[in-house]
Structure 1
Amino acid sequence: MNSRYSLTTRLTAFFTLASAFVLVGLGSLVAISIDRHFVELDRDALRDKIHLTREVMGKATSPQDLKTRLDDVLHSHEGLFVNVLRGQESLYSTPDFQFPGNMVELTLRARLGVASWQTQKHAYRGMAQSVSMPDASEMPLQIWVALDIAHHKHFMYSLIQALVAYVALATLVAGALGWWAAKNGLAPLRTMRTRAMAITAQRLDERIPSHAFPIEMADLATTLNEMLRRLKEEFDRLSEFSSDLAHELRTPINNLMTQTQVTLSQARTTAEYQDILASNAEEYQRLARMVADMLFLAKADHGLILPSTERIAVHDEASALFEFYEALAEEKQVHLRLSGEGDVCGDRLMLRRALSNLLSNAIRYTPPGEQIAVEIQGDVHGTTVNVINQGPSIDAQLLPRLFDRFFRADKSRKQLDSDGAGLGLSITQAIVHAHRGRISVSSISGTTCFSMYFPSTKIVGKLPTTDA
């Protein structure tokens, strides 16, 4: 059915068609049963007439006497026709009546042994029966009898007309009742539609009261409410993200504008211009990194980040990063420790970036003289990488938001020597999710632990590959 039709129209049409089908089937069953009953009545009547004819034949003393007796019988039995044959010779035949030439074959093939035929004006049912003579030397007789069934046909015609009219009227009534039932049954859906239309971007906290609807629609209302809850959360995150993004971009842009305006306010030496351009280049690099990170996260949100697949020894990657951060760790007076073995099937550069983000974050917030530990635990189910550092504990209420974009647990902890924009943990989470893993964080008694879990490819299946 065309999808442009309303649900009420569809239900009405389906209900009407189903009702018509049932009514037509019931009417046909009634008509067939009555017609079969008439055939059975006619069969019994024909047998009685054959029996009566045989009795008359048994009393007749001559062919002329037989004719006289049968004429008297037929005179008192209106609508009865008889034909008595010996071979091809007709011993008696009802005047002005013609039996079919293949009467015997018709009887043998007919339903219930009753042959039916029709002329231009009348309809008949008949039966043929062979009668053996007492004298075996004589040829058996054939008795053909027929009844005029015009009254049966007239009754069936009137019955079929009545049934057709009733089926048509009943179908119309059923269609009207179906429309009424569908319209009233779908009234809660229209109410739900009205409530849903009242929900806007400024009113995402509105909910559809599921208890006010039938059970079938209550599930739909609950699902819609859950969808609205997720939309509101994402909308709030997007609004907060847009605000944070504007704030993060405003600082370097204002720096560039201010520094440029001050520079143009008076003539400068070549060395001064070079220093200013070098300072501007740093701000441009910061903006470029921020834009690149945002592009990466946008691709991750849309499933466009597909890691290539290769077997990676996490211990080797961590060792390489330790060499890279060794100078910074010595400057911060922080000790790095690596332990454990494990393999991950995924993208080497992405895995190194995730681990690098956690290490740089740990170095930034670990007090001097403390230690940062990277513990690797691998088994048949997967590999877990823990990055543990000592330092101020993070409020438990803030832990779920650590992976939000531009979020910092303590705004005052943004250091002047840091060029981070609050995207490192978000990128790390996106990388772990791209590898079908999970990441979590805990902070208890001055110990903060970031844990990345990468499942075995035997459990999650082979990751999609990319040439990027």
Structure 2
Amino acid sequence: MSRPVSLTTRLTLLFILVSSSVLLGLAWVLHTAVERHFLEMDRGLLESKIVVLERLVKRPPEKGELAALQGAVEAMFRSDPELKVFVETADGRAILAPAEPLFPRERLRERASGTQPNLLSWWKDGSRYRALVKTVQPETPDFAPLIVAAAINIDHHEQFLVRYGNTLSVFIPFAAFLSGLLGWRAARRGLVPLRLIEERAASVTASELSQRLPEEAVPRELTGLAHELNCMLDRLEEAFRRLSNFSSDLAHEMRTPVSNLLTQTQVVLSRSRSASEYQEVLASSAEELDRLSRVISDMLFLAKAENGVSIPSIQALDLHEEIADLFEFYDALAEEEGVTLSSSGRAVIHGNRLMLRRALSNLLSNALRHSRPGGHVGVFIRDRNGAVELTVENEGETIPAEELPRLFDRFYRGDPARSREDTAGVGLGLAITHALIHAHAGTIRAESGNGVTRFVVELPRSAPMPDD
């Protein structure tokens, strides 16, 4: 596959094409204007001669007077040696004519119709002539009209136009080449900001994502491109940061159970043990393996969600009934913690029962786990702007505002130092909930203040169609 032509080359060729077109158009306009000028100049000269000649032949001469008339014409036009005159009667008899046959008599008769003078041009013996021909009515009523013509040699006009054309044929290619050269230089200078963007983009690596393109140093036409590239770099930097944090968190979550398993196994293998001791160690190992299994299952689900989790089936769901079923499941835990449960509102949406129940279960479990003893967990269902809003709130410690956006990050549990083990979960519940709500074309956000934390879910009444 051939490599595309560079932008500099394209601009240079465009400069050459445009300049050549403009110069050719200008040359044609000037050539036409010069030719028209010569035509008007010749017409003015010939009209003045026709007027004089018409005055001389108003009275038709007798045969004996032709010599005198010829002499009078020659004397009158002696200052114009290039001027040739011709007078012919209607029956084709020449009254005045040059010694050599110069005038095309048939064409003169054709152009002499009417009383207005007409221009005529022709070639004769390698020279070009232009004439003005007119029909003159003599003063004698019974005398037929006369055809009167005055002609001049316009070789000097033709020579000027030829020289003019030759000059343009040399100047236009030179000017087009010069325009292309200047256009190439202008394109090179004009594309400097693109090369600056290229250099900055080349300096961006996985370990150096802080580089940004200089939006203020590029032309206005490239500001949008630079801004969008900077936004892309911001997203990449954030993605790399999240990926790095995820790798660190995943290593931490996997290290603890693996370390426990390894330590217990080494201790047990250090000497012989009784059957009850082996059973105790195996039971402890099963707990750690169960924790690892849950982490791996949740991570597999999130990996699928990031590539677009599909909804296997859709059905109508009464959110009030779903919440009531979940309350029955968590009633024992709530009673143990001294937390009261309540719900209000009703709404019917369309979605997948298992997926939405898991999302709501995660929210209730999170609310119960972080609610203060003797507190209250409430679920409120509202119809808002054609969508369904479901709020889960609990009474507990206020979450700092800067931590709220990170609650849906994987493994985030509000303790960056990881100084405390939380056996109730591994920090994936809210991330899974976010993925499930997003799969139903919904949104979820967290709010916290005055000892109350809320998770607000907005769901459309109709979920996306399931994939086949």
State the TM-score, normalized to the length of structure 2.
Answer: 0.83
Residue 92 of structure 2 is matched in structure 1 by 89
Say yes or no: does 1:150 pair with 2:155: yes
Displacement of 1:375 in angstroms is: 0.7
Q: Map of 1:54-203 to 2, 5 A cutoff?
A: 54-58=54-58, 61-63=61-63, 65-66=65-66, 69-70=69-70, 73=73, 76=78, 77-92=80-95, 93-94=97-98, 95-99=100-104, 101-103=106-108, 105=110, 113-118=118-123, 121-203=126-208
Aligned length: 458
Say yes or no: does 1:234 pair with 2:239: yes
Displacement of 1:305 in angstroms is: 4.2
Displacement of 1:295 in angstroms is: 3.9
Residue type of the alignment partner of 1:164: S
Residues 379 and 120 of structure 1, relative CA distance in 2, 3 Å threshold: farther
Distance 2:127 2:72 in 1: 23
Displacement of 1:251 in angstroms is: 4.1
Deviation digits for residues 84-109 of structure 1 (CA, Å, limit 9, x no counterpart): 33334232443322416344556889
Q: Map of 1:392-431 to 2, 5 A cutoff?
A: 392-410=397-415, 411=418, 414-416=421-423, 418=424, 420-431=425-436
Displacement of 1:279 in angstroms is: 7.3
Residues 444 and 26 of structure 1, relative CA distance in 2, 3 Å threshold: same
Deviation digits for residues 399-430 of structure 1 (CA, Å, limit 9, x no counterpart): 221111111113466443x3x33221112222
Residue 306 of structure 2 is matched in structure 1 by 301
Displacement of 1:14 in angstroms is: 2.2
Displacement of 1:233 in angstroms is: 1.6
Distance 1:306 1:272 in 2: 47
Residues 97 and 273 of structure 1, relative CA distance in 2, 3 Å threshold: farther
Q: Map of 1:247-286 to 2, 5 A cutoff?
A: 247-253=252-258, 286=291
Residues 467 and 234 of structure 1, relative CA distance in 2, 3 Å threshold: closer
Residues 313 and 106 of structure 1, relative CA distance in 2, 3 Å threshold: farther
Distance 2:262 2:435 in 1: 34
Displacement of 1:154 in angstroms is: 0.5
- Stretches of structure 1 that go unaligned for 5 or more consecutive residues are 458-462
Q: Any idea what SS the aligned residue of 1:293 has?
A: helix
Residue 18 of structure 2 is matched in structure 1 by 18
Deviation digits for residues 361-394 of structure 1 (CA, Å, limit 9, x no counterpart): 1122234433211111113342211101122332
Identity across matched positions, percent: 43
Displacement of 1:153 in angstroms is: 0.6
- Stretches of structure 2 that go unaligned for 5 or more consecutive residues are none
Q: Any idea what SS the aligned residue of 2:106 has?
A: coil
Deviation digits for residues 229-250 of structure 1 (CA, Å, limit 9, x no counterpart): 3321221111111222233334
Residue type of the alignment partner of 2:52: L
Aligned to 2:455, which of 441, 450, 458? 450
Say yes or no: does 1:342 pair with 2:340: no
Distance 1:399 1:16 in 2: 60
Kept after mapping to 1: 8 A contact 2:395/2:453: yes
Q: Any idea what SS the aligned residue of 1:341 has?
A: coil
Kept after mapping to 1: 8 A contact 2:58/2:139: no
Residue type of the alignment partner of 2:165: I
Displacement of 1:115 in angstroms is: 2.9
Distance 2:387 2:250 in 1: 36
Q: Map of 1:356-395 to 2, 5 A cutoff?
A: 356-395=361-400
Displacement of 1:196 in angstroms is: 2.8
Greater mean deviation of Cα atoms: 339-348 or 122-131: 339-348
Distance 1:179 1:108 in 2: 60
Say yes or no: does 1:465 pair with 2:460: no
Residues 393 and 47 of structure 1, relative CA distance in 2, 3 Å threshold: same
Q: Any idea what SS the aligned residue of 1:373 has?
A: strand
Greater mean deviation of Cα atoms: 98-107 or 444-453: 98-107
Distance 2:274 2:85 in 1: 140
Say yes or no: does 1:27 pair with 2:30: no
Displacement of 1:39 in angstroms is: 0.8
Residue type of the alignment partner of 1:45: L
